[in-house]
Amino acid sequence: MAKDSCLSRMAAGAAVGGAVGCAVGVMYGSFEAIRCKVPGVEKIRYVGQRTIGSAAVFSLFLSAGALIHCGKSY
């Protein structure tokens, strides 16, 4: 089997991190919007901001982790 390139591993890490971050962001954003009693349509904006932020952070850390592990051979 051919080894994956470092760039493809980073892209896969970023994709997985983005998906996990979206799921966490939606759950956390919804909980916070209900808890803080965000009015009406602003709940959608609030949840969206939390989702985007969480996805960005998770994808950054998972792609950085893939970059760190790129040089190691197991």
Query: Is residue 42 pLDDT above 80, yes or no?
Result: yes
Query: Is residue 3 pLDDT above 70, yes or no?
Result: no
Model pTM score: 0.82
Across the chain, what does the average pLDDT equal? 89
Q: Are 35 and 43 in contact (CB under 8 A)?
A: no
Query: Is residue 2 pLDDT above 80, yes or no?
Result: no
DSSP string, 37-67: T--TTHHHHHHHHHHHHHHHHHHHHHHHHHH
